[in-house]
Structure 1
Amino acid sequence: MNAHLEQLSPQPLWRHFRTLCNTPRPSGHEARLVALIEAWADAQGLAHDRDAFGNLRIRKPASPGHEQAPGVILQGHLDMVAQANADHPHDFTRDPIETHVNEGWLQARQTTLGADNGLGVAAALAVLEDEALVHGPLEALFTLEEESSMGGALNLAEGWLEGQVLLNLDSEDRGEVFIGCAGGADIVVEAQLPTAELNEDEVALRLSLTGLSGGHSGIDIHRGRGNANRLLVRVLRALEAFDARLADYHGGTLRNALPREAFATLALPADEAEAAGEKVAALQQELRAELAGADEGLTLALHPLVSPPAQALNAHASRMLVAALHVAPYGVERMSLDVPGVVETSNNLGVVNLAEGRFHLCALVRSLRDSAAADIADRFRGLFDLIGARTRVENAYPGWTPDPDSALLARFRQLHQQQLGSDPAVKVIHAGLECGILAGKYPHLDMISFGPLIRGAHSPNERVELNSVEEFWKLLKGMIESLANEKAA
């Protein structure tokens, strides 16, 4: 599978990326890939070990004469976001990613590509096998479960890594280098809500909202794209005029991806079904008009169910839940005044489920300020307390404080100017790079993050520009060779 990847340049990097595409690796299912990489390291004669959580480290001694150079850590995560279009059957725990080239971009067929962060991992592996590259002591750190919880970084062993500088290879813009990122936390809301049997005069209808673009819940949160959960709840709110009760709901699959699709089952009086259908058709036009130019393709549909559920939420519980979801914090909360053009605080209603009265919500709040993230979590708690739900905060991770005076940053800027003839834009990203967590465990590390141009991450629209991968590869090798000629502090 994906043999065409080995015809791309730089060939060593794409060869390793082919292995990653052919090896299923959603969060929590990285074991097979770890075993393959360890076997590869053994064949290369490279030392490797794991910490207690399972994070993988591979070491390579310095080139002769460069033993005193600062140790360089190449860092990326092994897992990928698992997103596929609803009409495309794909088992991310078993099926390989099928890729193709389209007008200078590589993408997958109706699934996420895994360029985030597969290209960073592939680049690190290609560096480790490059015998012509002059380098100081090298470590490659491959973390687990980044996309689902930051679990690998949060549980990384302390006192394990030996390097002095760290190159995070998990950024997604050419011509840019990142020196800071937002922190974040998952907000989980759960409740058991009262149900009641369907009345004899009620029918069950299936409501669906599909066709949105989706995307990364940090990088794309400010682009005005639709959130399927936010929009379908708005439709549910409007259908309460027809005495609709909510029976079940499923929207979104990952808290860090903008949900592209959402589905609900409703119970409502049979004599209101036609009017409800007309309202849905009108709302489709209304929402399409609002999203024009930002997110084309929204489709709303309302269809009768042949096999209706036995129960739905009782009228009061249904109204309370829809009202709470309707006013829940969502989207950009505040733009940063310290870093113009960067979102300071946001929240994504990523996953919402209801089945047999059991309600579950998982949102991801991101912020450059821990206090602002805590405030949104408290607002969720205050809101959902009103319907008797339980709210908790999980998987909190710190942001990465920018250091504009970093010596590593100065070196990268000089190299970028030499190789590409331009100064890179120095950025802070509204996404959860692992650098903030790593800095807390290894405060001596000087760090930057850079990568190729990736668009549509966390969605089936994910793609990477091929020319940018070549630039990324040259910059990475150039940084390693430049650092090899320095003496460790």
Structure 2
Amino acid sequence: MTQIKDIQPTEVWSVFDQMLQIPRPSRHEEKIQEWAVKFGEDLGLETIKDAVGNVIIKKPATPGMENRKTVVIQGHLDMVPQKNSDKEHDFVNDPIEAYVDGDWVTANGTTLGADNGIGVSSAMAVLASTTIKHGPVEVLLTATEETGMDGANGLKAGLLDADILINTDTEDEGVFSVGCAGGIDVTATFKNKTKKADKKYAAYKLSITGLKGGHSGVDIHLGRGNANKVFFRILKAAGEQLGVKLADIQGGSLRNAIPREAFGVVLVKPKKAEALAALVAEIGEAVKAELINVEPGLSVTLEETELPKTRMAGSLQKKLTNAVWAAPNDVVRMSDSMPGTVETSTNLAIVKSDDQKVVASCLVRSFSETAKLALATRLEAVFSLAGAKVELTGSYPGWQPNVNSEILEEMKGLYEKRFGKQPQLLAMHAGLECGILGATYTNWDMISVGPTIKYPHSPDEKVNIETVQKYWDFLVDTLENVPVK
């Protein structure tokens, strides 16, 4: 089998191979930060780790290029930890099992971490290169991007000297991202009221699996199923028609991933067990038919299980069910000014219960700050009416396109010269760090580029090998042609 480190360009893939060996899920980034610091120091370069875990490495200009504008190449060190339910993998301790699958590199049952590992690898390859001609280069590797953009939010002014930011977190080769949506988290918390489970009931595990999931910004327009919505669609009917009780719910796992799976234990009187099985099958088949073209792998199962000690109080179950089912989800509005682009969306990412509480988490995205807040408060209203305590947190700004960008014009010309076609310009619905970083470093001329990555934030994540070569060649071209100060 082809080794990851031997794929062309080896400058990039050999670094990515190192990253695959280092666990780096969000909020467990100490090992990858240590690796990044050592990488810079071993090259004899000025290396800084700031108070929030960002790593900054500075490389002087090559001879004759000292008069060029300073470029900062930026990526994030963390990755999304998603796996298939039948895959044994500890993201805090285990390396990623990557392999070559035809024209792609993917992973065995887990996310790959090409988002944003390939971008980080390209930045490190620039630092290590002795052949690339470039002006002053700074590499900014941010912390905890995937679960709150903590590194970008915590970056202090004055640490970097750059004039131009090249963000490496765009996931379609030949597409230049020139703007992005802002976002805000909406978290609804119910106090869990429980009752002793009546031994006259039978217990069943209801499982929603096989959905594709994906990135809640990049993939939200694809009409994929939401496991939480499917679960509570069934529960609403089962509760109203058969008196089914909910014991617990574990749906989704990450705020910025479309939920692929949801599992819960439900209780029903034995004489109504057959009716419950029929109802679950009926609704399951209806949902499959509705989503057949986008979710062919959807599975809805009901299996008998051990009776739990407690169940959720009926009043709370009703309020939770109605709130989750009523809450807006998916694309809410398309953009008028950017045809084909999602303006505003929300993802009902997580619904989870424990002995003390039940938490529902949504991530709202929009290019419009007012529309973002309007949708967030709309969700707040739904869950508040159901009796939940609702918090709006983690708001971050969008990145407005700059039509007069010097680096954009330079890179457009370079791309057309090398590849014989013009790049596509895109304002991403996904949240890039550029908006936050640009609010701190207001002088930066910003752009985002990258290779083609499919299905980020899901175990189907894969990166196209050919486009990594194209992306690397183009990045080198760009650095060699950065405008004069």
Q: Does residue 125 of structure 1 match 2:124?
A: yes
- How many pairs were matched up? 484
Deviations 1:206-259 (A, max 9, x none): 100101111110110010111101111111111111101111000111010111
Shift of 1:324: 0.8
**What secondary structure, in the 3-state scheme, does the structure 2 residue paired with 1:360 have?**
strand
Q: Does residue 105 of structure 1 match 2:98?
A: no
Paired residues for 1:427-442 under 5 Å = 427-442=426-441
Q: Equivalent residue for 2:341? A: 342
Q: Equivalent residue for 1:290? A: 290
* Contact 1:247/1:355, CA 8 A, preserved across alignment: no
Q: How far apart, in 2, do the equivalents of 1:321 and 1:487 lie? A: 59
User: Taking structure 2 as the reference length, what is the TM-score of the superposition?
Assistant: 0.98
Q: Equivalent residue for 1:208? A: 207
Paired residues for 1:12-411 under 5 Å = 12-240=11-239, 241-306=241-306, 308-356=307-355, 358-411=357-410
Q: How far apart, in 1, do the equivalents of 2:291 and 2:311 lie? A: 31
* Contact 1:248/1:356, CA 8 A, preserved across alignment: no
Query: Quick one: which amino acid aligns to residue 346 of structure 1?
Result: S
Deviations 1:7-29 (A, max 9, x none): 10000100100011110000111
Query: Quick one: which amino acid aligns to residue 173 of structure 1?
Result: D
Q: Equivalent residue for 2:479? A: 480
* Contact 2:76/2:116, CA 8 A, preserved across alignment: yes
**What secondary structure, in the 3-state scheme, does the structure 1 residue paired with 2:233 have?**
helix
Query: Quick one: which amino acid aligns to residue 10 of structure 2?
Result: Q
Deviations 1:372-401 (A, max 9, x none): 111122112211222221000111110000
Q: How far apart, in 2, do the equivalents of 1:399 and 1:295 lie? A: 31
Deviations 1:130-167 (A, max 9, x none): 11111111100000000011100011111211010010
Shift of 1:305: 1.4
Shift of 1:463: 0.3
Q: How far apart, in 1, do the equivalents of 2:421 and 2:311 lie? A: 61
Q: How far apart, in 2, do the equivalents of 1:3 and 1:25 lie? A: 24
* Contact 2:72/2:166, CA 8 A, preserved across alignment: yes
* Contact 1:247/1:356, CA 8 A, preserved across alignment: no
User: Which one is further off, 261-270 or 379-388?
Assistant: 379-388
Shift of 1:202: 1.5
Q: How far apart, in 2, do the equivalents of 1:206 and 1:244 lie? A: 12
* Contact 2:37/2:49, CA 8 A, preserved across alignment: no
**What secondary structure, in the 3-state scheme, does the structure 2 residue paired with 1:148 have?**
coil
Q: How far apart, in 2, do the equivalents of 1:38 and 1:317 lie? A: 49
Query: Quick one: which amino acid aligns to residue 487 of structure 1?
Result: V
**What secondary structure, in the 3-state scheme, does the structure 2 residue paired with 1:356 have?**
coil
5+ residue gaps, structure 1 = none
**What secondary structure, in the 3-state scheme, does the structure 2 residue paired with 1:288 have?**
helix
**What secondary structure, in the 3-state scheme, does the structure 2 residue paired with 1:59 have?**
strand
Q: How far apart, in 2, do the equivalents of 1:173 and 1:389 lie? A: 40
Shift of 1:3: 7.8
Shift of 1:45: 1.1
**What secondary structure, in the 3-state scheme, does the structure 2 residue paired with 1:149 have?**
coil
Q: How far apart, in 1, do the equivalents of 2:438 and 2:147 lie? A: 20
* Contact 2:36/2:55, CA 8 A, preserved across alignment: no
Shift of 1:404: 2.2
Query: Quick one: which amino acid aligns to residue 300 of structure 1?
Result: V
User: Taking structure 1 as the reference length, what is the TM-score of the superposition?
Assistant: 0.97
* Contact 1:99/1:109, CA 8 A, preserved across alignment: yes
Shift of 1:312: 1.1
RMSD value over aligned CA atoms?
1.2
* Contact 1:28/1:145, CA 8 A, preserved across alignment: yes
**What secondary structure, in the 3-state scheme, does the structure 1 residue paired with 2:3 have?**
helix
* Contact 1:311/1:356, CA 8 A, preserved across alignment: no
Q: How far apart, in 1, do the equivalents of 2:251 and 2:83 lie? A: 14
**What secondary structure, in the 3-state scheme, does the structure 1 residue paired with 2:481 have?**
helix
* Contact 1:312/1:357, CA 8 A, preserved across alignment: no
* Contact 2:176/2:448, CA 8 A, preserved across alignment: yes
**What secondary structure, in the 3-state scheme, does the structure 1 residue paired with 2:278 have?**
helix
Percent of residue pairs bearing the same amino acid type = 41
* Contact 1:226/1:295, CA 8 A, preserved across alignment: yes
Shift of 1:272: 0.8
Deviations 1:266-324 (A, max 9, x none): 12212111110011111221111100111111111111112x11221222221121011
* Contact 2:114/2:453, CA 8 A, preserved across alignment: yes
**What secondary structure, in the 3-state scheme, does the structure 2 residue paired with 1:212 have?**
coil
Q: How far apart, in 2, do the equivalents of 1:350 and 1:288 lie? A: 20
* Contact 2:364/2:372, CA 8 A, preserved across alignment: yes
* Contact 1:187/1:365, CA 8 A, preserved across alignment: yes
* Contact 1:224/1:295, CA 8 A, preserved across alignment: no
Deviations 1:19-52 (A, max 9, x none): 1111000011111111122222222111101222
Shift of 1:357: 5.5
Q: How far apart, in 2, do the equivalents of 1:333 and 1:273 lie? A: 38
Q: How far apart, in 1, do the equivalents of 2:44 and 2:353 lie? A: 52
Q: How far apart, in 2, do the equivalents of 1:212 and 1:384 lie? A: 26
Q: How far apart, in 2, do the equivalents of 1:100 and 1:194 lie? A: 47
Shift of 1:456: 0.5
Query: Quick one: which amino acid aligns to residue 455 of structure 1?
Result: K
Query: Quick one: which amino acid aligns to residue 236 of structure 2?
Result: R
**What secondary structure, in the 3-state scheme, does the structure 2 residue paired with 1:68 have?**
coil
Query: Quick one: which amino acid aligns to residue 484 of structure 2?
Result: K
Query: Quick one: which amino acid aligns to residue 451 of structure 1?
Result: G
5+ residue gaps, structure 2 = none
